[in-house]
Chain A
Amino acid sequence: DVKVTQSSRYLVKRTGEKVFLECVQDMDHENMFWYRQDPGLGLRLIYFSYDVKMKEKGDIPEGYSVSREKKERFSLILESASTNQTSMYLCASSPVAGPYEQYFGPGTRLTVT
Chain B
Amino acid sequence: AQSVTQLDSQVPVFEEAPVELRCNYSSSVSVYLFWYVQYPNQGLQLLLKYLSGSTLVKGINGFEAEFNKSQTSFHLRKPSVHISDTAEYFCAVSDWNTGNQFYFGTGTSLTVIP
The residue on B at minimum CB distance from A99 is B32
Please, how many residues of chain A have a CB less than 8 angstroms from a CB on the other chain? 28
Given A40-B106, A104-B44, A105-B43, decide whether A94 and B90 contact each other with a Cβ distance below 8 A.
no
The segment out of A12-20, A41-49, A68-76 that lies at the interface is: A41-49
A45 to B102, CA, bound (A): 8
Given A90-B44, A106-B42, A107-B43, decide whether A99 and B104 contact each other with a Cβ distance below 8 A.
no
Nearest CB in chain A: distance from B43 CB, A: 4
Residues of A within 8 A of B99 (CB): 98-99
Q: Is the CB of A42 within 8 A of B43?
A: no
A30 to B72, CA, bound (A): 30
Nearest CB in chain A: distance from B95 CB, A: 8
Any chain A CB within 8 A of the CB of B45?
A: yes
Q: Mark A97-113, 1 if CB is under 8 A from B, else 0.
A: 01111111111000000
Q: Mark B5-33, 1 if CB is under 8 A from A, else 0.
A: 01001000000000000000000000010
From DSSP, what is the main secondary structure of chain B's interface residues? Answer: loop
> Which residue of B32, B51, B94, B104 contacts A43 across the interface (Cβ within 8 Å)?
B104
Residues of A within 8 A of B51 (CB): 99
Q: Is the CB of B43 within 8 A of A48?
A: no
Q: Is the CB of A96 within 8 A of B100?
A: yes
Any chain A CB within 8 A of the CB of B67?
A: no
A42 to B42, CA, bound (A): 15
A80 to B24, CA, bound (A): 37
Nearest CB in chain A: distance from B89 CB, A: 11
The residue on B at minimum CB distance from A95 is B100
Any chain A CB within 8 A of the CB of B46?
A: yes
Which residues of B pack against A, CB within 8 Å? 6, 9, 32, 34, 36, 41-46, 49, 51, 90, 94, 99-102, 104-107
Question: Could you list 17 examples of A-B contacts with CB < 8 Å?
Answer: A9-B41, A31-B100, A35-B104, A42-B105, A43-B104, A45-B101, A48-B101, A58-B101, A90-B44, A96-B100, A98-B94, A99-B100, A101-B34, A101-B46, A104-B44, A104-B45, A106-B43
6 tightest Cβ-Cβ pairs between the two chains A and B = A104-B43, A42-B106, A43-B104, A99-B32, A104-B44, A98-B100
